[in-house]
Amino acid sequence: MRVLVIGSGGREHALAWKIAQSPLLTKLFVMPGNGGTEAIAENLSVDITDHAAVIAAAKAQNIDFVVVGPDAQVVAGLGDDIRGAGFTCFCPSKEAGQLEGSKSFTKALCDEFDIPTAGYARFEDEASALAYIYTQGAPIVIKADGLAAGKGVTVAMSVEEAEEAIIDCFSGAFGESGAAVVIEDLKARKSAFSSSAMAKPSCR
């Protein structure tokens, strides 16, 4: 079996390392890979944000099975496009990827299906978010709504720390991912507070 792992980080390196041990494997590729994956697979220098280029390379290498690692590519629907091109692919759909790509989407899903989750509120403007933490106090958790490469969450032990995290989000520290913030309690309960300017996203 000819297998292609998409990504270049530690997650993809671990996936490639384990896949390389399979007796079913005949050839392993990692796209674009890193210096470590080069020792266990053939790295393919392809821009993984270019879905057409990824598919073309997979066809050129006669790939049997594709594994997509990066969250950003899951959210972008790379798995759907690869499956649409006729490949077997281990990757959530773009629709399912919303659970990773939007914290407020996941929170709304929890609300809709009564899944226990920390109390929260979502904001699209700095002033409302700051007003909320001044009312709630600390400790409190500030999260950029979208993907932020693992850097968009602050467990603020003081109001000042929470204030700084909110200002960072709305000042562009996380790009579009910080255009909205989710503010969470540190315990599982539903919040009665909601920003008058912000409706919860639909999970349907």
Q: State the pLDDT confidence band at 95, using cuts at 50, 70 and 90.
A: very high
Cβ within 8 Å of residue 168, ≥6 positions away: 174, 178
Q: Which fold has domain 2-98?
A: Rossmann fold (3.40.50)
| The pLDDT of residue 203 is above 80 | no
113: number of Cβ within 10 Å: 8
Q: Residue holding tokens 């530690």?
A: 10
Q: Residue holding tokens 């077997």?
A: 88
**pTM of the complete model:** 0.80
Q: State the pLDDT confidence band at 202, using cuts at 50, 70 and 90.
A: very low
Average pLDDT on 67-72 reads 96
CATH number listed for the domain at residues 102-188? 3.30.1490.20
pLDDT of residue 93: 97
The beta strands (E) that lie in 22-133 are given as 27-32, 42-43, 65-68, 88-90, 118-123
24: number of Cβ within 10 Å: 9
pLDDT of residue 185: 93
Q: Max Cα separation, the chain?
A: 60
Segment holding 128, helix H or strand E: helix 126-136
Instruction: Measure the CA–CA gap between 98 and 137, rounded to whole angstroms.
Output: 30
Nearest Cα residue to 170 out of 129, 201, 204 = 129
Instruction: Measure the CA–CA gap between 100 and 72, rounded to whole angstroms.
Output: 9
pLDDT of residue 154: 94
pLDDT of residue 193: 41
Question: What are the structural domain ranges in the chain?
Answer: 2-98, 102-188
Instruction: Measure the CA–CA gap between 34 and 38, rounded to whole angstroms.
Output: 6
pLDDT of residue 135: 95
